[in-house]
Structure 1
Amino acid sequence: MFNPEILLTLYLNQQLFTDPRRLALLKAIEQTGSLSQAAKQINISYKTAWDAISEINKLAPKPFLITATGGKNGGGTKLSVYAIRFIQLYDLLTQLQHNAFKILSDDNVPLDDILKTTAKLSLQTSARNQLYGSVKQIKTNNVAGFITVKLSDEQTELNVYVTKKSIERLQLSIDKTVLLLIKAPLIKLDDSSENSLSVTVEKITTDGQWCEITFLLASGIKLYASQPVGVVEQLALTIGKQTILSIHPENIIVATLV
């Protein structure tokens, strides 16, 4: 099994800032409240620990350690809020690196698009439909409007209702890559919306009360809809049957990297 050991090392101004050993020292300080005890815990000398912390504090934009000397409760060392947040960020980056190697063997995951790659690495949603595309048109007034998104098949276009504030917050612009999220129950098996699509039934799964239907666009993109068994029977849906489905513009959520 391909299981690389990933050691994240950060340099600032061409000088070592943090590496796994220094992160272990910081975590030990947070746990023990003492630089000397932290050094013992990770099996390094007090001088090595002191020098490492001095270099970190010298390079960091904010102090990492808060040191108290004497006083009613005696002396001690604790991490600053900035240092604790840095440790959390370091751990997140390490996890992302591990996740990145997990998708290396999945040929269906593109590695040339930052949104698609990032979403595959870390984004999990309850929305069954996750469609990638790029913004081709933006129409808005003082409150809200619509964007037109061309999907990754370069054929299918969907109109999405978006407020003006959301357009600004997401920094939407022409040709920007976006991710469209649509919950399966919100896909209707009719042509009642402006987003009407011709599809072919690929698969039907049922628990006796509800059905999950997998549809295929002509381009190969899959869409998933959930409907009561009675609706599926009324429409006489079977594998291979061609039909129409629709997605209301208000039922599509837009996500992107800003």
Structure 2
Amino acid sequence: MSESEILLTLKRNQQLFADPRRIALLKQIDKTGSLSQAAKIVGVSYKTAWDAIHEMNQLSLHPLVNSMTGGKGGGGAQLTAYAVRFIQLYDLLTTIQHNAFNILSDDDAPLDNLLAATARLSLQTSARNQLYGTISDVISNTVYSQVIIMLNDQQTVIKVNVTRRSIDRLQLSKNKAVILLIKAPAVAISLTNSLSENSFKATIKQIRQDNIWSELDLSLSDDVVICATKLTQEFQALNLQLNQTVYINIHPENIIIATLV
């Protein structure tokens, strides 16, 4: 299966600022310290390379290349610290473009939610549960606050305790999209409803276990599945079975909120 070629082109003031060839030229200048050598490696004439760097320096907020001296045959050239960071940003944007195109083959990947799409593209965590939702309310106190989130299934509400400083730092407010990260051991399972915060009825959909640990997938709704782990000894004591209805509880302090700011 052939891969799609995605070329990132940046313009400033309606003029070409950066494209793959110009970025390759900058990278070779960084490696060789010579504009003429960089031009040869990239496969363009010295004049084309000089004109390209001159145009980029003119369009950039800060110079990209310093100390270009000499006539035909060139002289020494050195990237500025700003240019090094710009190349890193360009490479990052290129990676994001490729990843974004790849999620077209994932029918479950959301394309109408920037946070959810970004997380699907690149966010990997050790937390087994990664839930998407929108803040419905923020109850603020001087030191500790509570954030109330409606998950994307539009029926499951989860409460999260965070510090007031976290509220301000993450700019958490009503209608903001968030991701909730919950480690599987933080999900408690019982046969009766504890009637505490974040207590939900769930159905056991899958069980995986070994001699030490048991891992369960529990469905809260058609769109929300929570993973929980228990010691196999505890699992056997509860005599849990597939399709059994149980109750899960997640303490509000055992949930991490992530969002775009």
- Whether these two folds match at TM > 0.5 is yes
Residues 192-231 of structure 1: CA distance to partner in whole angstroms, max 9, x if unpaired?
7411010000111012210110001134411000110011
Letter in structure 1 aligned against 2:254: N
Q: Deviations over 1:143-172 (max 9, x none)?
A: 111011011111010110011111111111
Q: Secondary structure at the match of 1:87?
A: helix
Aligned mates of 2:221, 2:117 — CA distance in 1: 25
1:171 paired residue number: 171
Instruction: Report the Cα distance in structure 2 between the residues aligned to 1:239 and 1:252, rounded to whole angstroms.
Output: 26
Q: What's the counterpart of residue 213 of structure 2? A: 210
Tell whether 2:252 aligns with 1:238: no
Instruction: Determine the C-alpha separation between the residues in 1 that align with 2:52 and 2:248.
Output: 62
| Residue aligning to 1:65 | 65
Q: Is the 8 A contact 2:153 2:221 kept in 1?
A: no
| 1:249 alignment partner, one of 236, 252, 258 | 252
Q: 1:163 to 1:124 in 2, by over 3 A?
A: same
1:24 equivalent in structure 2: 24
> Structure 2 CA distance, aligned partners of 1:150 and 1:34?
57
Please give the per-residue CA displacement for 1:35-83, whole angstroms capped at 9, x wherever unaligned.
111111112111111100000000000010121769xxxx621111110
Q: Which stretch of the first structure deviates more once superposed, 213-222 or 134-143? A: 213-222
Which AA in structure 1 matches 2:214? C
Unaligned runs of 5+ in 1: none
Distance across 2 between alignment mates of 1:210 and 1:67: 63
CA deviations on 1:2-34 (whole Å, 9 max, x unpaired) are: 621011010000000011110110000000011
Q: How does 1:90-239 map to 2 (within 5 A)?
A: 90-190=90-190, 191=194, 193-239=196-242
Q: The residue matched to 1:178 in structure 2 has which SS?
A: strand
Unpaired runs of 5+ residues, structure 2, are none
Is 2:47 aligned against 1:47? yes
How many residues matched?
A: 254
Distance in structure 2 (CA, Å) of the matches to 1:50 and 1:236: 75
Amino acid at match of 1:127: A
CA contact (8 A) 2:35 2:68 kept: no
Q: Are the counterparts in 2 of residues 206 and 212 from structure 1 also a CA contact under 8 Å?
A: yes
Distance 1:119 1:2, change over 3 A: farther
SS in 1 for 2:77: strand
* Superposition deviation, residue 187 in structure 1: 0.7
Q: Counterpart of 1:4 in 2: which secondary structure?
A: coil
Amino acid at match of 2:94: T
Moved segments of 4+, more than 4 Å: none
Deviation (angstroms), 1:174: 0.5
| CA separation of 1:194 and 1:2: change in aligned 2, threshold 3 A | farther
Q: Match for 2:33: what amino acid?
A: G
Q: Could you tell me which residue of structure 2 aligns to residue 37 of structure 1?
A: 37
SS of the residue aligned with 2:67?
A: strand
Q: What percent identity do the matched residue pairs reach? A: 54
| Counterpart secondary structure, 1:121 | helix
Whether the 8 Å CA contact 1:115–1:256 is kept in 2: the answer is yes
Q: Which amino acid aligns with 1:104?
A: L
Letter in 2 for 1:170: L
Q: Which one is further off, 214-223 or 241-250?
A: 214-223
Asked if 2 retains the 8 angstrom alpha-carbon contact of 1:155 and 1:219, the reply is no
SS in structure 1 of the partner of residue 38 of structure 2: helix
Task: Indicate if the aligned counterparts of 2:99 and 2:121 stay in contact, CA closer than 8 A.
Answer: yes
1:128 aligned partner, one-letter code: R
Give RMSD over aligned pairs.
1.4
TM-score normalised by length of structure 2: 0.94
